[in-house]
Amino acid sequence: MQKIGDIVTRFKFDDTDKYISREFQKYAYDLAEELGDLEHKSLYMRLVKDSPRGLVETARSFVKDAQNARSRPRLFMWKLKQLKDTKDAKK
């Protein structure tokens, strides 16, 4: 029989998401990390919160597929703007 204290000490607690309370915040943080732009994670949180998730996901997959991108964040923003413009043009 093991003590509860011994069992608890074996588990490593992951506090990386300590201040994230909503799903869009986690998604935006992962997006900023994937793009290598953690300095501007608040920008991505605003984009994810206000933009349709489908457009953000399409732009994210576009950047993932781009092999020779000089600036992944810049490519993401360009593609997202392009997708928003085509969506508005269809209205």
**pLDDT tens track, the chain, 91 positions:** 778 877 777 776 666 677 888 999 999 999 999 999 999 999 999 999 999 999 999 999 999 999 898 999 999 999 999 999 999 998 7
pLDDT given at position 19: 82
- Flag whether 2 is in a domain: no
pLDDT given at position 52: 95
Domain residue limits at 53:
16-90
- Flag whether 80 is in a domain: yes
Contact 60, 76 (CB under 8 A): yes
- Flag whether 68 is in a domain: yes
- Flag whether 40 is in a domain: yes
| Total domains present in the chain | 1
- Flag whether 4 is in a domain: no
Write down the residue that tokens 């509860």 correspond to.
4
Burial class (CB in 10 A: 0-12, 13-18, 19+), 13: exposed
pLDDT given at position 13: 65
- Flag whether 7 is in a domain: no
Tokens of residue 88, six digits = 């508005």
CA atoms of 79 and 76, how far apart (whole Å): 5
pLDDT given at position 46: 97
